[in-house]
Structure 1
Amino acid sequence: MFRSASIAIALAAAAAAPLAAGGPLGTLPLGRYLCELPGDAAGPASRPVEGAWFDIINASSYVTDGGDGTYLLTGDDVVFTRGPMRGARFERTGVRALKRTDLTGPLAKMRCVKTGRTQ
């Protein structure tokens, strides 16, 4: 009896460990996310990145011009796990805003903001 309980506790702890490290599972608000780069004081406040958008369509699914896929939100970390954006990583910086964290160079400061539009 004691051994069964110990095994059950160990299995439960092992299963919970990845969630504890990344935070609780969640989903993003439904709608279109348009991606942009910050502007400057001499011009517009932001500069849209052409073709960089996605729609969150339900639970953990998204769609782009290139097709559809899934994402995983744990805590404030978003990872696109399947589809045309597979491997893209973001940090949730607000209820409607994400910052891309896996880019370097000129696109390193890209952020995506939820608009009211959908497909």
Structure 2
Amino acid sequence: MNRTLLSLVAASVVLAGPAMAQNRIGTIERGHYVCELPGNAAGAVGVPQPEQSFTIESASRYASPQGNGTYLRRENRLTMTSGPRNGDSYEIVGTRFLRKIENGEPGRLRCIRQGN
């Protein structure tokens, strides 16, 4: 009985490993992310929001008009973890395209990486 229980516990630990690794930590491409709100059919395609824009400087650091800080990427979510943007989160839509999370859902503000 004890061997069976021990085998079941060992198997569950082995199977839980891949499930726990699904929220892998990563980085996003370095560069300047220009943020904007959608425009309308009669005007500009996007309305620039320069105070929301930021630059990814290294594997875990960002710079913004308000100051510098760090970020954490888990799967398709980018979260500012220190500095003036602490707590801001973005959904990673593509390699160069982010959408700011508002009230737990992707909002209207989009940030697009400029340059190469």
What is residue 101 of structure 1 aligned with on the other side?
Answer: 101
Tell me if the contact between 2:34 and 2:50 (Cα under 8 Å) persists in the aligned partners: no
Query: Could you state the TM-score of these two structures normalised by the residue count of structure 1?
Result: 0.75
What is residue 37 of structure 2 aligned with on the other side?
Answer: 37
What is residue 70 of structure 2 aligned with on the other side?
Answer: 70
What is residue 111 of structure 1 aligned with on the other side?
Answer: 110
Amino acid in the other structure paired with 1:75: E
CA deviation after TM superposition for structure 1 residue 12, in Å: 9.7
CA deviation after TM superposition for structure 1 residue 27, in Å: 0.7
Query: Could you state the TM-score of these two structures normalised by the residue count of structure 2?
Result: 0.77
User: With CA pairs under 8 Å and 6+ residues apart, which has the higher RCO, 1 or 2?
Assistant: 1
Which is greater in Rg? 2
Structure 2 gaps of 5+ residues are none
Count the aligned residue pairs. Answer: 107
What is residue 28 of structure 2 aligned with on the other side?
Answer: 28
Deviations 1:82-109 (A, max 9, x none): 11110001101111010001259xxx40
Percentage identity across aligned positions? Answer: 34
